Amino acid sequence: MNKTMGTRRVFPERQDEYEAREKYPEPAVCPECGDVFRNGRWTGRKMFPSGDLYLAKCPACSRKDGNRPAGDIKISGPFFQAHQAEILNRIRRIERKERGTHPLEQIIAMHSEPDYADISTSGIHLARRIGDALRHSFKGDLSYSYGKGEKSIRVIWARN
């Protein structure tokens, strides 16, 4: 008779310095962006609870203050020069929509010049979603590269 040993999943130590090491007190509000931590997760500002609140900086604002984005987006090319306002407005709409369901996915910084734009995000999912939307809406060349442990992403989009 063969006996099989039960297997245990061993998870590595958290490598992301912005992931919480312990649970936030509830309800907590981020003093910078106003997002609320309640029922074990960060929610948008529209879920503002009443009563006593704790102050706790959310991971997205911690990334912003530490200038350590998880997503880095580079946009360039003649098409960008000709349609810069339209492309940047599309990116802002994507962020608003994403923040509705995932409040920790935020644009940290957006810098644009006539021939290129650099955008940094607090999470990898927003950066990837922006890249996918640019390719879907405007075509062009898109590439991704993930950092060690998939904790960061670089997105490059260009169109001639």
Q: Quick one: 95 and 48 in the same domain? A: no
User: What is the rounded distance in angstroms from the CA atom of residue 95 to the CA atom of residue 100?
Assistant: 9
Q: Quickly state the pLDDT bin for 3 (edges 50, 70, 90).
A: very low
CATH code for position 132: 3.30.70
Q: Quick one: 71 and 148 in the same domain? A: yes
Tokens of 91: 């990116």
| Contact status, residue 23 vs residue 56, Cβ threshold 8 Å | no
Residues 92-113: tens digit of each pLDDT = 999 999 988 899 999 999 999 9
Q: Quick one: 74 and 103 in the same domain? A: yes
Q: Is the pLDDT of residue 43 over 90?
A: no
Q: Quick one: 106 and 130 in the same domain? A: yes
In a domain, 104, yes or no: yes
Q: Count up the domains in the chain and report the number.
A: 2
Q: Quick one: 44 and 94 in the same domain? A: no
The whole-model pTM stands at 0.81
Q: Give residue 45's Cα distance to chain centre.
A: 17
The pLDDT value recorded for residue 23 is: 79
Query: In which domain, by residue range, is 40 found?
Result: 28-57
User: Strands (DSSP E) along 17-140, which ranges?
Assistant: 28-29, 36-38, 41-43, 54-55, 71-76, 107-113, 116-121
Q: Quick one: 79 and 149 in the same domain? A: yes
The more confident residue out of 135 and 2 is 135
In a domain, 144, yes or no: yes
For 53, phi and psi rounded to 5 degrees? Answer: -125, 145
In a domain, 147, yes or no: yes
Q: Quick one: 50 and 110 in the same domain? A: no
Longest CA span, the chain: 73
Q: Quick one: 41 and 83 in the same domain? A: no
Across the chain, mean pLDDT equals: 86
